[in-house]
Amino acid sequence: MFNIEDILATLPHRPPFLLIDRILELEDGVRAVGLKNVTMNEQFFVGHFPGRPVMPGVLIVEALAQVGAFIILRQSEYAGKIVMFAGIDDFRFKRPVTPGDTLKLEVSLDKMRRRIGKGQAKATVDGTLVAEGGLMFAIVD
């Protein structure tokens, strides 16, 4: 398991845009499982939506991408690089994520060629699927 200090030492993201709290599992270069505790204190809930707070889907995708970036950046050849989105494929959102939810973020890398990676991602809350789809990553200096 990796705590917030490990995540901060690996990813370039910082609050308020760091969207993962813990990495529960890491299979080097292959897959990882992370957690995001969703609280009412999140800045995006101020405007999304007043009286009915819902985590924006794009931020769920970003949280998943950060778990994917963690997988990549833990590999010695990519340490210190930046991982950026290169594509998002067939993403589907199944139910809203609201304050009090804990997002379980699972990402597996299917292909890595040079500096481009592809993978599958899914987010669940209490075992219920909330989002899933494909992600593509580009590694830059």
- Just list the catalytic residues: 48
Structure-derived torsion over alpha carbons of residues 13, 120, 6, 25, reported in degrees to the nearest 10:
160
Of 66, 74, 76, nearest to 106 (Cα)?
Answer: 66
Between CA 22 and CA 6 the distance in angstroms is: 9
- 97 neighbors 49 (Cβ within 8 angstroms): no
